A and B are shown apart, each in its own frame.
Chain A
């Protein structure tokens, strides 16, 4: 079993829909949680960064962390075709700089 599990999709939604992307993890030492967005044939870029539990909002994006359930989510409101990409969750503990990535969920937002 992988340390971080993520549904690969693809997830296809109409423009304007609310999108929910999720990851589960098994390592209780993870404290920092990130979402990266990766466009086709590009490198991942950091989208959201949260520490420990709680919510963080940035424009149309909201990241949620539930450490008790070992579950993190990324919500995208009013989704746009430009949001079409692969979304990777990543996490790490207090020590070191090594990130553990989920496999990524491919999202397609149709006009």
Chain B
């Protein structure tokens, strides 16, 4: 398996623009997590899905952030409008059957977002 795939790997945008981050989980996994990592706050869980349904979005910082999972193989995290304080590395992780441990989260390579 190719692992968790994220795109784009790098995104530079201007304040006020819409940003869409994409994630393809490992095939067969039924959990998908979105994290944000910054030097100041470390790795923070934003939202997670089970079987495409959002289970906990308490980590989503503001209404400017939204996430969807229209099917088992694709998820998006959207920021609209973006602000400089949203600059961070955003990770997607998946978990589920077929892995050595079904409760292990496998992380993608991340999207490095810079908002000018």
Contact = CB atoms under 8 A, between A and B. Distances in A.
- Mutual binders A and B: yes
Interface of A: 32, 41-46, 49, 88, 97-99, 101-104
Central interface residue in A43, A46, A101, by most chain B CB within 10 Å: A43
B42 A103 contact: yes
Contacts of A102: 42
B13 interface: no
Interface residues of B, number: 21
Interface of B: 4, 31, 42-43, 45, 48, 50, 56, 91, 93, 95, 101, 103-110, 112
B42 A45 contact: no
B104 A46 contact: yes
A101 B33 CA distance: 14
Majority secondary structure, B binding face:
strand
Contacts of A49: 101, 104
Contacts of B95: 97
Contacts of B103: 32, 97
B56 A98 contact: yes
Q: Which 6 A-B pairs have the closest CB atoms?
A: A43-B107, A103-B42, A101-B43, A44-B107, A46-B104, A43-B109
A42 B106 CA distance: 12
Nearest to A92: B103
Contact of A104 (B42, B50, B105, B107): B42
Nearest to A49: B101
A88 B43 contact: yes
Given A42-B109, A43-B91, A43-B110, A99 B45 contact: yes
Contacts of B110: 41-43
Nearest to B41: A103
